Amino acid sequence: MLDLDRLGFAYDPGHWLFRGVSHRVAEGEVLTVLGPNGRGKTTLLRCLVGLASPTEGAVAVRAAGATGAVGFVPQQHHTAFAYRTLDMVLMGRTRHLGPLASPGRRDRGLALAAMERVGIGHLADRDYPTLSGGERQLVLLARAIAGDGRVLVLDEPAAALDLRNQGRVLHLLRGLADEGRSVVMTTHHPDHALEVADTAMLMFGGSDVRVGPAAELLTDAAVGELYGVRAHSLVLDAGGVSRRVLVTRFDQEVHP
């Protein structure tokens, strides 16, 4: 699990990007973080994985037998070297290896299995820099899965993907949570949160950070207030299963 205890971050004293963020992400929970650009979503994730230090508050990772086992999938990633895609995924196994040890047959098998699970097994021998942005995103997700982190933190994991792969990734993340992992992801799509999340975090700015059950928190009014556009809920019935989706009118801005 992942504990966020009164997290706050300010680039300049007194100018809080966010403050007072508290939540315990349980095993098996998907938390989605939503908010306009510049409200601190990526900075929050960087604090969660140790790439940035919060100005106040603390983060604690508690995973049975794997303290600190966090897999991170950034939104953008570039490398100066032409690694093979399989080698990029194998890097997720690094923390399981001893000093100066090389990945073995088991590590390679886990990496290949992670690639197949994400749907990119056919890219194993491609050079990573030659892949599209969406394909690279899938490689990084496979790397995190291969690392067997009990906590997965992902920055807009579906942002560069086509519609089919968006659905694949969302349901893969839901499946990973159902296996007992804690999943934290950012998204600009409330529908993605409604599809897979247990909990939503809405970052309105400063101390106004709201956390609650995704289905209850993501109302038309809240989404409209958050993004400054009008949102309308529709209930779809597919095969006897009803689900709510949000339709946004981009030509109807909400002015404060």
Q: What is the pLDDT of residues 157-195, one digit of tens each?
A: 998 899 999 999 999 999 999 999 999 999 999 999 999
Q: For 87-101, write each residue's pLDDT tens digit.
A: 999 999 888 887 777
Give the separation between CA 25 and CA 63, rounded to whole angstroms: 11
Share of the chain above pLDDT 70, in %: 94
Query: Does 66 have pLDDT greater than 60?
Result: no
| Highest-scoring range by mean pLDDT, 40-44, 59-63, 134-138, 226-230 | 40-44
The CA distance from 128 to 87, in Å, is 9
pLDDT in tens, 219-242: 999 999 999 998 999 988 877 788
Q: How many angstroms separate the CA atoms of 97 and 192, rounded? A: 35
- Determine the straight-line distance between the first and last CA of the chain, rounded to whole angstroms: 37
pLDDT at 67 over 50: no
Mean pLDDT calculated for residue range 67-80: 75
Task: Report whether pLDDT(64) > 50.
Answer: yes
Predicted pLDDT at 68: 47
3-class secondary-structure state, position 80: coil
Confidence of residue 253 (pLDDT cuts 50, 70, 90): low
In Å, what is the CA distance from 204 to each residue of 18, 201, 233? 9, 10, 21
- pLDDT for residue 205 is more than 80: yes
The answer, yes or no, to whether residue 256 has pLDDT greater than 70, is: no
pLDDT of residue 213: 97
Domain 2-228 falls under CATH 3.40.50.720: no
Whether 44 shows a pLDDT value over 50: the answer reads yes
Q: What's the CA gap between 71 and 175, in Å, rounded?
A: 16
Mean pLDDT of the chain: 90
- Domain positions in the chain are 2-228
* The pLDDT of residue 98: 75
pLDDT greater than 60 at residue 79: yes
pLDDT band at 252 (very low <50, low <70, confident <90, very high): low
